[in-house]
């Protein structure tokens, strides 16, 4: 039923992952990799498991620099990507930051009681990685602050009467599952089909109920018409809609980012959207911050989902206004820290870097 194909060199290196002992194929490889000699013989190769129709089931990639055999249920130097149609690795990474924030800082900036549960066994690794790499704290805080800002904005919209919430590129976000039901409230989660399947499987494994107010819409931002997909999924563009769009724009092309904003601006019922973006690294004045952004870009590129879009703040504001967004609130790192950590003694300087922006049509 299964065949294996040997390829090289390894595409993704330096990762560590659990091997699922309940999965017979994964367990077979765990047994094989108990031999250090076998590990070394596989170094620098990729093994891809295919179904009888040659569809990828998962692949195992071996880093020759870190092969060290097996300890307990962990295989070191081997990264099983479990590509069930290529679920987003960046979605998993963002969820890891949210979970680590709950475990390490106690949800100081952003409380999400489901963040650890939805990650399941991946939560332990995400938390351990954050503890082992303190330089990730700044990014973890940014992820927490952007989620808090977006959710506070969404809750204000709901209090003002908005009953249609759209989560673009929902990933493993849990906002919809923490919202208390309200009459007429609907939350539409739009994402790549593979990432959506992975999320729903994790929800089931964590025993997190799918509320009646949640609707799932499968869509690829780079292909097809987003509005058509949403309307087919039940969204009423004639009603005002609040949109959360976090951790997505940097991974799209600039054309895809603006095409999404154009589509949202055309909703006849009006729209309010919160999303994040990054300025070009060369525009960042602080060398330490610039180096951090470049290192982060290198890491995500290694994972196969590179940064593809950097936006100039002034140009974004200008183009947004031309599309019909009349209310624009743009917060850089310094503004977010001033909003949520006003008492810390050392604060970042205002300027280029990561931003969170809220825009609304009339």
pLDDT digits (tens, 9 = 90+) for 138-160: 999 999 999 999 999 999 999 99
- Close Cβ partners of 105 (under 8 Å, ≥ 6 residues apart): 144
Beta strand spans in the chain (E): 3-7, 16-18, 46-50, 56-62, 70-71, 74-76, 78-80, 164-168, 186-191, 214-218, 241-245, 271-278, 325-332, 354-361
pLDDT tens digits for range 155-182: 999 999 999 999 999 999 999 999 999 9
Cβ-based neighbours of 282, under 8 Å, separated by 6 or more: 290
Pick 23 or 114 by higher pLDDT: 114
How many domains would you assign to the chain? 2
Would 113 be classed as within a structural domain?
Answer: no
Of the three residues 62, 80, 98, the one that is the final residue of a domain is 80
Angstrom distance (rounded) from CA 341 to CA 196: 34
Show which of 60, 80, 100 is a domain's final residue. 80
Domain that holds residue 284: 137-361
- High-pLDDT (> 90) share of the chain, %: 64
> What pLDDT does 300 receive?
65
**Residue 126 covered by a domain:** no
* pLDDT exceeds 80 at position 229: yes
pTM: predicted TM-score of the whole model, two decimal places = 0.76
93 within domain boundaries: no
Domain match, 177 and 259 both:
yes
Q: Which residue has the higher pLDDT, 288 or 362?
A: 362
- Domain end, chosen from 80, 99, 114, is at 80
Give 60's strand partners.
47, 80
d(CA 296, CA 275): 19
Residues 200 and 315 in one domain: yes
User: Who's near 155: CB < 8 A, 6+ residues apart?
Assistant: none
User: How far apart (Å, rounded) are the C-alpha atoms in residues 236 and 234?
Assistant: 6
210 shares its domain with 353: yes
Q: Is residue 16 part of a domain?
A: yes
| 24-38, 135-149, 199-213, 244-258: the lowest-pLDDT one | 24-38
158 and 284 together in one domain? yes
Residue at 104 is within a domain = no
């Amino acid at each position: 039923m299964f065949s294996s194909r040997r390829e090289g060199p390894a595409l993704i290196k330096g990762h560590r992952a659990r091997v699922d002992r309940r999965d017979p194929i994964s367990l077979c490889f765990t047994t094989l990799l108990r031999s250090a000699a076998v590990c070394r013989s596989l170094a620098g190769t990729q093994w891809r498991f295919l179904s009888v129709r040659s569809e990828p089931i998962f692949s195992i990639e071996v880093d020759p620099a870190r092969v060290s055999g097996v300890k307990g249920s962990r295989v070191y130097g081997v990264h099983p990507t479990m590509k069930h149609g290529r679920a987003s690795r960046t979605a998993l990474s963002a969820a890891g930051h949210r979970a680590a924030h709950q475990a390490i800082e106690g949800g100081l900036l952003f409380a999400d009681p489901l963040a650890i549960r939805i990650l399941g066994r991946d939560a332990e690794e995400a938390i351990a990685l954050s503890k082992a790499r303190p330089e990730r704290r700044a990014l973890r805080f940014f992820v927490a602050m952007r989620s808090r800002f977006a959710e506070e904005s969404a809750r204000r919209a709901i209090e003002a009467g908005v009953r249609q919430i759209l989560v673009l590129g929902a990933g493993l976000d849990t906002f919809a599952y923490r919202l208390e039901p309200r009459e007429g409230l609907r939350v539409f989660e739009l994402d790549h089909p593979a990432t959506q399947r992975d999320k729903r499987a994790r929800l089931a494994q964590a025993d997190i109920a799918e509320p009646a107010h949640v609707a799932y819409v499968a869509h690829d931002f780079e292909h097809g018409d987003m509005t058509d997909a949403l309307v087919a999924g039940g969204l009423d563009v004639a009603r005002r809609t609040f949109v959360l769009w976090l951790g997505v724009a940097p991974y799209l092309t600039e054309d895809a980012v603006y095409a999404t904003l154009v589509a949202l601006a055309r909703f006849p019922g009006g729209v309010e959207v919160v999303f994040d973006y990054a300025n070009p690294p060369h525009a960042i004045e602080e060398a330490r911050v610039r180096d951090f952004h470049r290192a982060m870009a290198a890491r995500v590129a290694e994972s196969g989902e590179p940064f593809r879009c950097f936006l100039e703040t002034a140009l974004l504001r200008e183009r947004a206004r031309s599309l019909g967004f009349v209310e624009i609130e743009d917060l850089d790192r310094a503004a977010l820290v001033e909003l949520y950590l006003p008492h810390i003694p050392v604060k970042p300087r205002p300027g280029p870097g990561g931003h969170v922006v809220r825009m609304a049509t009339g």
